[in-house]
Amino acid sequence: MTENRRTLYPIVEPYASGVVDVGDGHSLYWERCGTPGGKPAVFLHGGPGAGISDNHRGQFDPARYDVLLFDQRGAGRSTPHADLNANTTWHLVDDIERLRKMCGVEKWLVFGGSWGSTLSLAYAQAHPGRVTELILRGIFLFGQNELDWLYKYGASELYPDGWDDFVSVVSKDERGDLVGAYRRLLTCDEEATKLRAAKAWSKWEGLTVTLLPDKAMLDEFTEDKHAIAIARIENHYMANKGWLDEGQLLKGAEKLRGIPGVIVQGRHDCCTPPRAAWELKKAWPEVELNIVPDGGHLYNEPGVLDGLIRATDRFAR
């Protein structure tokens, strides 16, 4: 049924915003939206490296929620831009705790999609007593099979034209390890080489995240500053497998027992296919898994957005 699908709430301006020094030379941009004293929530963006956007606020009823949104290390308006120093999953988990204390809340709802789902799970497993509910989209667990899907085989079968563009940036003798080859390009000293690689990396991801082609979204993904942050930080995390052991987030799912949760997963998500969501559901039986039959990866696709807003509405009560 598609007639009664929910859409974004009106996009409100933040009632507070600022920058917080989290150490290691990093400063994070943050904003709080909605109603002060409303249900506390934190929004964890994807990428890593993508940053927050105004429309992300619209996934929460501003009359009932008090939401903290922030740009993770090196992303968006956080500084230094695209920096890889002291930028790991566990640095970000610590940052979330610092921000929770800054907000003066004991517990909050944690909402994350794509890489944000990974970070949400890592945070919730490290601090289960601080999480009231979890809302997750496009599950990514950093399994080797998920990395291979994106950078060895799988998505390349669906987007062979885009794949050829993606690998063309790398010399033929280095294509056995595309993540490693791109890492060398994205961390080199030659700005033109770095930018060319960043645009190619970001374009490849952009092709896989929409159910139907979206030129405006691809243009945004490949804009110079955005592409550099996405590509450098994302590649850095992929090269280090998210600083997670194989299967760690599935094994740690037992720590989520008692935390209500909803997963919204596009059936035709070619960036983070449904297998990971299904495995997480098996490891965490209490979570509600909603597979959207006409959904891809992005939060703003109609069926996916409907599921996310229904989840935030439910937990607002």
Q: What is the pLDDT of residues 292-316, one digit of tens each?
A: 999 999 999 999 999 999 999 999 9
Q: Are residues 238 and 248 in the same domain?
A: no
Q: Domain range holding 117?
A: 16-143+244-316
pLDDT score of 1 more than 70 = no
Strand 26-34, strand 261-266: pairing: unpaired
Domain count, the chain: 2
8 in a structural domain? no
- Kindly give, in sequence order, each residue whose CB lies less than 8 Å from that of residue 293, ignoring residues fewer than 6 positions away: 267, 303
Q: Are residues 132 and 43 in the same domain?
A: yes
> What residue type is 300 in one-letter code?
N
93 in a structural domain? yes
Q: What is the pLDDT of residues 176-216, one digit of tens each?
A: 999 999 999 999 999 999 999 999 999 999 999 988 888 99
6 in a structural domain? no
Gap between the terminal Cα atoms of the chain: 24
Q: Which residues are catalytic?
A: 114, 269, 297
What does pTM read for this prediction?
A: 0.97
The number of residues in the chain equals 317
SS3 141: coil
Comparing 3-7, 11-15, 174-178, 264-268, which segment has the lowest mean pLDDT?
3-7
Q: What is the pLDDT of residues 63-77, one digit of tens each?
A: 999 999 999 999 999
Stretch 105-126: mean pLDDT: 98
> What b/e string do you get for 199-229 counting C-beta neighbours within 10 Å, with b at 16 or more?
bbbbbbbbbbbbbeebeeebeebbeeebbbb
Inter-axis angle of helices 89-103 and 115-126, nearest 10: 70
